[in-house]
Amino acid sequence: MLAKLKQLYISSSFIFPLLISFLLPFGINYGIIISLWLICFFVFEDLKLGFRKMLTNNWSYVFISFFVIHAVGYFFSINKAEALSCIEIKLPFLFLPFLIFTSNFNELQLKKITISFVSGCLILAFACLFRATYLYFITNTNAFFYSEFTYFLHPSYFAMYFIFAQLIVMLYYKTWLSHLKYLNLKIGFISLVFLVCIFLASSKMGVIAAFTILPVTLFVLLINRGYKKLMIIILIGLIAITGLVYKLVPSPFQRLQTAITVTTSTESIDLSATESTAVRILIWKQAVDIIKQNFVLGKSPGDANDALYQAYQKNGLTGAIKKKLNAHNQFLQTFIGTGIVGFILLFLMTVGAIIVGLYKRNYALVVFSFLITINFLVESMLQAQAGFIFFVFFLCFLLQYDLGKFTNQNKIQLK
């Protein structure tokens, strides 16, 4: 009986990461899936071999160290409840590297895991569009903008997920699914849906990332494939479409304009400000001051937010204290909590991963890490499940496997 269960696990263990990948856009609790995967690993795998494989991967030490400094920080935190919460949300830094770095999935299984994320995003897109359309015609409510549209996720995470899904489509669908009929039409339809949803989410960083990462990636692909004339046509088309959309749906552009106005203004920002860009600038100044005073060891993970709240109170940031905002920058948030060591580890997992990806020509790792890095600049994404699961899961996945080496030899049948 045990032998049959072991054989079943070996042949279908990829179902666990496939489920995580597919369900990520829906923001559910993944603890049960990760726990089941971990239990099955301990029951059916060779643990000695597994630990050996994990420890031969140098990235394991980075992830484990990041978890350990948060765990050790518990003993130095005044706010024990917050410190315990920090340990809980950093557990994926311990378990997911162990499960993924010891895995040995074949090419077909890895393609299914990757494409399942795109499928999850596509289903979520239809759900959001259907909900917004229903509310518009039935209740006369406009739910086609920002958090009202994304509903299931914060707009920043929503846009980040959809940009990465679009990058997967651009980078790999032509190669992996070249056997499918009407593939270009299907890619065009999926891309249109994703781009519309990214725009409607109206996350400022999401729009900026979409208008930079996606066109650059597309142009690099076109140049490599010899489509230079097509690239010029697409560029002209993008400019024309952007101008048309600006006239028809100005709201997302107005958010960007507000951000530009705030960041370039020579006037002092009102300390009671709650507008997202303005309050971020105020918060970042306080965060830098806290870091200067606690550069080496930090305030401890459990006391990081309390230190920020005290700074807001002391310096009259009434808007920030009212909403109890964190640093809204993961690098600053980590630096406040864990000092220079934690910052260096996070830097390795972001900018360091970009450098490694460029060196190994692992372009999925490059674009993913760049996307994460710029989002970390404006959000403390490792403070929420939607951020840390996405980050750790795909970073480990892309460090372990180079998706660019896959061909159309192992075909996926999609309808």
Tell me the three-class secondary structure of the chain, residue by residue: CHHHHHHHHHHHCCHHHHHHHHHHHHCCCCHHHHHHHHHHHHHHCCHHHHHHHHHCCHHHHHHHHHHHHHHHHHHHCCCHHHHHHHHHHCCHHHHHHHHHHCCCCCHHHHHHHHHHHHHHHHHHHHHHHHHHHHHHHHCCCCCCCHHHHHCCCCHHHHHHHHHHHHHHHHHHHHHHCCCCCCHHHHHHHHHHHHHHHHHHHCCHHHHHHHHHHHHHHHHHHHHHCCCHHHHHHHHHHHHHHHHHHHHHCCHHHHHHHHHHHHHHCCCCCCCCCCCHHHHHHHHHHHHHHHHHHCCCCCCCHHHHHHHHHHHHHHHCCHHHHHHCCCCCCHHHHHHHHHHHHHHHHHHHHHHHHHHHHHHHCCHHHHHHHHHHHHHHCCCCHHHCHHHHHHHHHHHHHHHHCCHHHCCCCCCCCCC
**pLDDT at residue 266, rounded to an integer:** 38
**pLDDT at residue 238, rounded to an integer:** 64
CA pseudo-torsion sign 168, 174, 175, 179? positive
As to burial, measured by CB atoms within 10 angstroms (0-12 exposed, 13-18 middle, 19+ buried), residue 39 is: exposed
| Residue type at 16 in one-letter notation | F
More confident residue, 251 or 363: 363
pLDDT score of 411 more than 60: no
| Percent of the chain at pLDDT exceeding 90 | 59
Of 99, 163, 72, 87, nearest to 125 (Cα)?
A: 163
Mean pLDDT, the chain, rounded, equals: 87
> Could you count the other beta carbons within 10 Å of the beta carbon of residue 250?
11
- Of the listed ranges 235-239, 308-312, 359-363, the least confidently predicted one is 235-239
**pLDDT at residue 369, rounded to an integer:** 97
Rg of the chain on CA atoms, in Å: 22
Whether pTM exceeds 0.95 = no
Crossing angle of helices 155-176 and 183-201, in 10° steps, is 170
Of 63, 79, 88, 23, nearest to 342 (Cα)?
A: 63
As to burial, measured by CB atoms within 10 angstroms (0-12 exposed, 13-18 middle, 19+ buried), residue 146 is: middle
pLDDT grade, residue 252 (50/70/90)? Answer: low
pLDDT grade, residue 410 (50/70/90)? Answer: low
Q: What is the mean pLDDT of residues 299-313?
A: 94
**pLDDT at residue 48, rounded to an integer:** 86
pLDDT grade, residue 385 (50/70/90)? Answer: confident
Q: What is the mean pLDDT of residues 133-162?
A: 92
- pLDDT tens column, 52-95: 888 899 999 999 999 999 999 999 999 999 999 999 999 999 99
Extract the tokens encoding 104: 């040995």
pLDDT score of 267 more than 70: no
- pLDDT tens column, 33-50: 999 999 988 888 888 888
